[in-house]
Structure 1
């Protein structure tokens, strides 16, 4: 939930790992086969001066379009697999829990591998989207059995929140600073520990766990707020990454990070609406 993918990328961006070409000795960027300026004619120098600079695509740098297209691809995979999982669990309710646990635990393991792996692995990212889709479809079917129509409400609220957070971040209503990132990171660690304890308690008691207490609705609201602010941090990190000239392959990690936050937000809204009805 703390989106370690973006945390690692943001640290690399701020350290100048990709934008700081000037940190390397100039000799490393010289080409011994390329003639020096003094050896070129005036016409050749003029041609070099008039040449168009390389675009971000030509330089293999990440662009916003790269992130958008890959996010849509991963989002489509999650939706298609979630729909298939929904149909399977609807016709065979006994499969809901196995698919739910396989998707949750498998996605957790693959997600951590993606986050801490030094090289970007597209197959792992695609695998995560498949596992997450299975998990989302199964858990959505379970929540729908508790409150009819809650899944549709959560989907609409997720899309509206995503759009609202992007607009609020873009116009500067919501600020993302280094200090807010640190505070958010500590809050997420606490919320994650609470979530694990609540999950164990829920399985042990067969109910809502601690969410079912009198403070359950307030806890759900806090979870939605944290997931929503996570999107603002994601937007800011993507913006920094594009400005810093991250390699194009990092657009896969950016897209993966957005999917992680979107699924988190959807689950929090799903739980909030279901808890409010009960």
Structure 2
């Protein structure tokens, strides 16, 4: 996977107001009048006031209804994001860990199946990659968030990652441990860099990254086709294990690494926009896509270096 269409589409939808249930912050309104209306309602009053005046629960024509105790309403603590059914960072972290747990379980299955039967392992490798790619695009462009599809994606990616890792570890001993450690270090480093403002994500950088990632994705598809059709005999494809191949892998690792910063920023935007809780599944899925992409690119890079 050379790009993350989950967050690409989400950010485009969010910026254009197409994400259902999102509640923009005051600073996201385009004019002071809109900000005041967001705070005090369309016709004045207090937050949540109806457009026709009065107060919540008041029905015109029935003045005998008692007014709510406004003093208690103002003194009451605000509902938390969890209580109001909104996505929180904890939701995203919990679901991300759950998806990674599923991936690791099925990665172990793919690893041991490939160890016992190389033919079956290759079938899991190719089958998991192709089915996972198709499911990933369905999830990305499907208007309704489907949790079963997200779980199925984690299963397919687990089988693919496990079978591929087992193959690489047989041919290039120790390369899997190196790739796993490097993935964890890059993840931690990119998060720290983004958190402390050392790595910035802007609308301009998003567009540049999106174009570069799409270009690499198309290159990767052509590269796979060239290897499968026998046009390029080197298993790594264009560039092989020479300097050009290593440069290509370094570029791919760089793209996948910056994609993590984009993912972190997108998750923060979603939390600030007070998205419905169900979007935490989509955020967790998007993060899983990027981490798998990063791991595979690091695996290929270290294998290229070791095979020289």
- What TM bracket, shorter-length normalisation? over 0.9
Q: Does the CA-based 8 Å contact 2:246-2:301 persist in structure 1?
A: yes
| Structure 1 position 35 matched with structure 2 position 39 | no
CA distance in structure 2 between the aligned counterparts of 1:216 and 1:99, rounded to whole angstroms: 26
Structure 2: gaps spanning 5 or more residues? 26-33
Structure 1: gaps spanning 5 or more residues? none
Which residue, 170, 178, 183 being the options, matches 1:158?
183
Which residue, 263, 279, 291 being the options, matches 1:262?
291
CA distance in structure 2 between the aligned counterparts of 1:194 and 1:14, rounded to whole angstroms: 29
Larger Rg: 2
Residues 174 and 33 of structure 1, relative CA distance in 2, 3 Å threshold: closer
**Structure 2 length normalisation: TM-score?**
0.84
| Structure 1 position 136 matched with structure 2 position 188 | no
SS at match of 1:35: coil
Q: Which moved more, 1:7-16 or 1:165-174?
A: 7-16
Count the aligned residue pairs: 277
More helix as a share of residues? 1
Per-residue CA shift, 1:109-146, capped at 9, x if unaligned? 11011000101100000000000000000111111122
Q: Tell me what 1:223 maps to.
A: 252
Which residue, 197, 206, 211 being the options, matches 2:239?
211
RMSD value, Cα: 2.4
CA distance in structure 2 between the aligned counterparts of 1:267 and 1:29, rounded to whole angstroms: 53
Q: Does the CA-based 8 Å contact 2:49-2:56 persist in structure 1?
A: no
Which residue, 210, 213, 216 being the options, matches 1:191?
216
Higher relative contact order (CA 8 A, sep 6+): 1
**Structure 1 length normalisation: TM-score?**
0.93
Residues 76 and 29 of structure 1, relative CA distance in 2, 3 Å threshold: farther
Q: Tell me what 2:13 maps to.
A: 12
CA distance in structure 1 between the aligned counterparts of 2:24 and 2:264, rounded to whole angstroms: 22
Q: Tell me what 1:48 maps to.
A: 73
SS at match of 2:9: helix
Q: Tell me what 1:253 maps to.
A: 282
Residue 211 of structure 1: CA displacement?
A: 3.5
Residues 110 and 84 of structure 1, relative CA distance in 2, 3 Å threshold: same
Q: Does the CA-based 8 Å contact 1:13-1:19 persist in structure 2?
A: no
